[in-house]
Structure 1
Amino acid sequence: MKGIIEINGLRLFARHGVFEEERINGNTFELTVHLCYPIENAMQSDNVADTLNYAEAIEIIRKEMEIPSRLLEHVVGRIHSALLAAYPAIISGSIKLTKLNPPIHADIDGTAVRIEW
């Protein structure tokens, strides 16, 4: 059996953007991460060692977000690689990274990049 481990609405301050000003001033970002993972052992054992520990996954994400990048695509790619390195049993998933206050003149909730695999 597989399950979906969800990290919804993780808000972090980071310094990503094409413009130098964005990397200097920073911005607030929101991440939604869904990871398909085998959870049948955890369903029986009630032991966090038998599942994907979302607290550890959040720390992996946080560390990748601390590294400034020009493109959200680059950040999402690094997060994807780091999560798979830590949890090779991940079957599939999605990562959505939203810049909540992009430096454009439009009334929007944010701009985002989402990957699925």
Structure 2
Amino acid sequence: MGLIALEGLEFFAFHGYYDEEQKIGNKYGVDLRVRTNLYRAGSTDHLSETVNYEVLYRMVAEEMQAPARLLEHLAHRIIDRILHEFGHVRWVEVSVSKFNPPVGGICQRARVTLKRKRPAPAL
């Protein structure tokens, strides 16, 4: 098994619980970790044997453009999409951060982290 990580992804998007947040927009960050078998990619040097970083980034970017009320929902959608698109991925962990959230005081960011394993195949 191996780990692929994309860290510090940044987006400007229109998420938020309050309608005003969805109109004004805000800066968001995403950190992504994907666990899969990297042995074949390491031995063959073929991109088809691993998870393409560019594809991962594009998937996250597309999900970030669809408005959501909750960071939890964004993280859930990203995980669903990655597990659906990459059948060989064993688990995904996603952290979604909102910079300067409206909490009534100083807060650099609010972050939600979700992690999900692919269910084991039925015997």
**Is the TM-score greater than 0.5?**
yes
Cα distance in 2, alignment partners of residues 71 and 35 from structure 1: 22
Structure 2's unaligned 5+ residue stretches are: 117-123
RMSD: 0.9
Q: Residue 23 of structure 1 aligns to which amino acid in structure 2?
A: Q
Identity %: 28
Is 1:106 the counterpart of 2:79 in the alignment? no
Q: Deviations along 1:13-64, whole A, 9 cap, x unmatched?
A: 1111011111011111000010001111110111111100011011001111
Aligned residues: 116
Corresponding residue of 2:45: 46
| 1:79 equivalent in structure 2 | 78
Q: Distance in 2 between matches of 1:94 and 1:71?
A: 17
Cα distance in structure 2, aligned partners of 1:106 and 1:15: 21
Shift of 1:106: 2.3
2: CA distance, partners of 1:106 / 1:72: 19
Shift in Å, 1:104: 2.0
Question: Alignment partner of 1:74: what SS?
Answer: helix
Matches of 1:106 and 1:91 in 2, distance apart? 39
Q: Distance in 1 between matches of 2:111 and 2:93?
A: 13
SS state of the match for residue 91, structure 1? Answer: strand
Normalising to structure 2: TM-score of the pair?
0.90
Match of 2:120 in 1: none
Q: In terms of mean alpha carbon deviation, does 103-112 or 17-26 score higher? A: 103-112
Helix, strand or coil at the partner of 1:88: coil
Q: Which has the higher contact order (CA 8 A, sep 6+)?
A: 1
